[in-house]
Amino acid sequence: MPSQTKKLCAKVMNRKTRKVRFNIELNKDPRVLLLYIIEQKYISPKSAYRWTADKIIQDASAYLSDEHYLFGLELKCKADKLDKISMNKLKSIIKKALTKKYLERPSPPISASILCGYILEGNDGLQYESIKSGKSCVWKKYL
């Protein structure tokens, strides 16, 4: 992580930057959008029938544009641990997560290899941790 990003994350976590604006377009970073979509539970068995991948991305992008900038900065600090992805890759991840196969399994609907090291709530309401297994990652129940 570059030193500039470390300083930014330190300031955000200290909550001294409520009025400070940084030159970062959070709604254009696919990693930030992905974390926001996961945290707000856009992809869940209850809400999936109402949303398409385009609508989810558009809604998340609008939310992070101005109103909730500090929340977006916190997500940016978490997102720096993820591998870079493009908007097209984000769209394909969401489309895949909205399929019946991923919505009906007990673990989270997002692939574990994308979020290696993260803890998320599964479709069954339990916590799951993405653990490295060989070259990929798998979801294991978090105790």
Domain-wise residue ranges, the chain? 1-9+24-104, 106-143
User: Which of these ranges, 9-18, 84-93, 126-135, has the smallest mean pLDDT?
Assistant: 9-18
User: What mean pLDDT is predicted for residues 48-58?
Assistant: 79
Predicted pLDDT of residue 103:
87
Going by C-alpha positions, the residue among 53, 11, 60 that lies closest to residue 35 is 60
pLDDT band at 19 (very low <50, low <70, confident <90, very high): very low
Check if the beta carbon of residue 89 is closer than 8 Å to that of residue 83.
Answer: no
Q: pTM, whole model, 2 decimals? A: 0.73
